[in-house]
Amino acid sequence: AAPPEGGALAGLNEEQRAAVTAAEPAVAVVAGPGTGKTKTLVARVAWLVGQGVKPAQITAVTFTNKAAGEMRERLEALFGKRAVRAMTIGTFHAICLRLLSERGPVSLIGEGEALAAASEVIGALDLRLSARKLVQEVSRRKGGLPADGSVPVEACERYCELLKEAGVRDYDDLLLDAYGLFVHGEATAKERRAFTHLLVDEFQDVSDVQYRLVRAWSGESAGVFVIGDPDQSIYGFRGSDARCFARFAADWPAAKTVVLTRNYRSTPQILRASLPVISKNGGPERTLEAQRPDGGPVRLVTAADEFSEAIFVAKEINRLVGGIDMLDAQGGGGAQPRGFSDFAVLYRTHRQAEALEKCLGIEGIPYLVAGRDKLLSDGLVRGAVGFFRGLCGSADPFSLRACLTESLGCERAAADAFLRTAAGAAADSPVRLLELLPPALAAAEPLVRWAELAEKYLPRARREKPRRLLEGWIEDTGRSSPAMERLLNMAVLHADMPAFLLNLTLGEERDVARSGSRAYLSDAVTLLTLHGAKGLEFPVVFLCGAKRGMLPLDSPGRSNDPAEERRLFYVGMTRAREELVLLCPGEPSPFLADIPADQLARSHATPARRPAPGGVQLSFFQGNF
Ligand code: ATP
Ligand code: MG
């Protein structure tokens, strides 16, 4: 039973309603941050159902698995679980995985295994090249980006053959293979019907392959609805291209374009500070009319170094949670105590999280850190993940080998011999598999151990909480590492192992957060990169590292696009609802100079004293200058 049309349109402004009810089969909503684009997309889905469209004819593409979950929840509140289950809602990768899985088991390798495969190729061809560089180059080529001449083409080809021989796919193959289904006419009528109404959020960040998927999916479609903001296009380095809006206009000449101008997220102060920054990128004039009441000024806090910056952030969070916000009291804004989850701490690079984590820890502040940051290059993590991936039904030779060699101390030659047998064997249990091996091999202690553990965890892997399973694994193998500890802290945020493993392989930064401790935290500060923060909003945002060399980022061996770096800074600023604090631990970022001076309240944070031996009490001088 669908709610009346008013249900879908409740609480929307006229511009948003125009987008939601547009009769044109192709609609592009192009609008700035906080204008309700995502809200409008969800309302369009609700409105379509209200118009009699069957849930099974609707597909909505989100940028993260988490955003997909949130969209499902909102729609379930309107239409119930059953209707929403019939819809397709997910990231490009998750949707493609589902399409391919319907045709047989899909063995998907993650970053760790991809790097292992690349190392193998590099060794075999005797090249001087980093595995990461090869993996990135293969991805660039698969994504239709121009080739980088410094990586030999044979290496890329050999890598792809290796994956094919092993019967596995990587991240990019998912999209390419699913695309193949649609262009070669292999998709079933039911599958095509699922894309009758296709909606895409964060359209400014689609890659070339994703754009082609949108076109292929909506081939016989009754409607395609894309929304985004070219000023928030921040994934150019991995192949996204904000010109997709121009491409869309060319491919769908009759498309309607809707512009939203009211910003419901941020205070006027935050918008007045942000707009001049993005305007420096040129282009048509941007309009964002603030709908929220005045707040305090945007603050710029300079600090001597990263440590002072981090201590300031931690102290400030505790002060605001304590409810003694002096700025608020002075401005008559009514001081209100905050919860920890009201805060986000943003930074340009994962590396910056380290000092912040330390200082939040000292201050006793609960926090979550988003992202898998090199976790999968740790051998023990790859081994553990490989073990459980095998048990959850998506075994691939790279995972199994990592488990045997990294976690169980198996010799490489024995592991390879085992893998060759396993590949051709039809064994119904790990122990039976062992029996198929030549006796000498079957007696190898690591293989015996693997079979025992596999028998032990097989019945539990899909049922028990990831945290319990991993704790058991660590105890049984007797091996842990700092990275394993971080994996555990990530596991506590997940309810089941298959979903956890999938997020590890396919998730975006937000999908793989870890807790600052081994406990599940429901009220915690979120630490994430500017990239990871896209689409989110928080009452209070600390944007760290607004210093030269960091924003824009100077990275050795890579030329970052200064316009994209500026968009990234803008994305960060516009995540804030009520308070934005910019932190500059060094020489100021050139972007700061583009914020009108009268929009900034400046102050300086100096630890009066380094931590005294045995004590962690620090006090600050904080004043205007
Ligand atoms: P971004 O570009 O950052 O992804 P967005 O355009 O998708 O932002 P939303 O996240 O959909 O914006 O909305 C921003 C905030 O404004 C949300 O808190 C949302 O609930 C609120 N909002 C949007 N439209 C309205 C409205 N018409 N009335 C009240 N609040 C609204
Ligand atoms: Mg959005």
Cβ neighbours around 477 below 10 Å, total: 19
Taking CA atoms only, the protein residue closest to ligand 1 atom 4 is 535
Reduce the DSSP state of residue 290 to 3 states and report it. strand
Q: Which ligand has the nearest atom to the CA of 575?
A: 1
pLDDT of residue 143 exceeding 60, the answer is yes
Q: Is 38 annotated as a binding residue?
A: yes
Chain centroid to Cα 480, Å, comes to 26
Alpha-helical segments (H) within 106-147: 111-124, 131-142
- Residues 190 and 204: their CA atoms lie apart, in Å, by 29
Average pLDDT over residues 401-411: 94
pLDDT of residue 171 exceeding 70, the answer is yes
pLDDT in the model for residue 613: 45
Average pLDDT over residues 7-35: 95
Q: Which ligand has the nearest atom to the CA of 574?
A: 1
pLDDT band at residue 204, thresholds of 50, 70 and 90? Answer: very high
Tell how far the Cα of 38 is from the centroid of ligand 1, in angstroms: 7
- Residues 578 and 296: their CA atoms lie apart, in Å, by 8
Q: Which residues pair with 600 in a beta bridge?
A: 298
pLDDT of residue 519 exceeding 60, the answer is yes
How do residues 66-115 score in pLDDT, each as one tens digit?
999 999 999 999 999 999 999 999 999 999 999 999 998 888 888 888 88
pLDDT of residue 151 exceeding 70, the answer is yes
pLDDT in the model for residue 610: 53
pLDDT in the model for residue 324: 55
Locate the ligand 1 atom nearest the alpha carbon of residue 264 and give its number. 16
pLDDT band at residue 220, thresholds of 50, 70 and 90? Answer: low
Taking CA atoms only, the protein residue closest to ligand 1 atom 30 is 264
- pTM value surpassing 0.80: yes
Tell how far the Cα of 590 is from the centroid of ligand 2, in angstroms: 27
Q: Looking at mean pLDDT, say which of 241-245, 304-308, 372-376, 502-506 comes out highest.
A: 304-308
**To 10 degrees, the CA torsion angle through 76, 82, 88, 90?**
50
How do residues 353-402 score in pLDDT, each as one tens digit?
999 999 999 999 999 999 988 888 899 999 999 999 989 876 778 888 99
Write the single-letter amino acid at 25.
P
Average predicted confidence (pLDDT) for the chain = 90
Ligand 1 contacts (CB < 6 A) are 11-13, 16, 31, 33-39, 229, 232, 264-265, 535, 537
CA distances from 605 to 308, 363, 597, 598 (A): 7, 16, 19, 20
pLDDT band at residue 442, thresholds of 50, 70 and 90? Answer: confident
Tell how far the Cα of 33 is from the centroid of ligand 2, in angstroms: 7
Chain centroid to Cα 231, Å, comes to 19
Specify the range with the lowest mean pLDDT, choosing from 63-72, 123-132, 395-404, 526-535.
395-404
Write the single-letter amino acid at 328.
D
Reduce the DSSP state of residue 150 to 3 states and report it. coil
Q: Is the dihedral of CA 91, 10, 204, 549 positive or negative?
A: negative
pLDDT of residue 12 exceeding 50, the answer is yes
Q: Are 181 and 174 in contact (CB under 8 A)?
A: no
Q: Which residue has the tokens 């002060």?
A: 319
- More confidently predicted of 221 and 580: 580
Taking CA atoms only, the protein residue closest to ligand 1 atom 11 is 36
Residues with CB under 5 A from ligand 2 (ion): 37-38, 535
Please give the ipTM for the structure prediction.
0.99
DSSP conformation letters of 574-613: TTEEEEEEEEESSSBPGGGGGS-GGGEEEEEEEESSPPPT
Tell how far the Cα of 274 is from the centroid of ligand 2, in angstroms: 17
pLDDT in the model for residue 236: 87
Specify the range with the lowest mean pLDDT, choosing from 354-363, 424-433, 447-456, 497-506.
424-433
Burial of 81 (0-12, 13-18, 19+ CB in 10 A): exposed
pLDDT in the model for residue 106: 87
Q: Which ligand has the nearest atom to the CA of 261?
A: 1
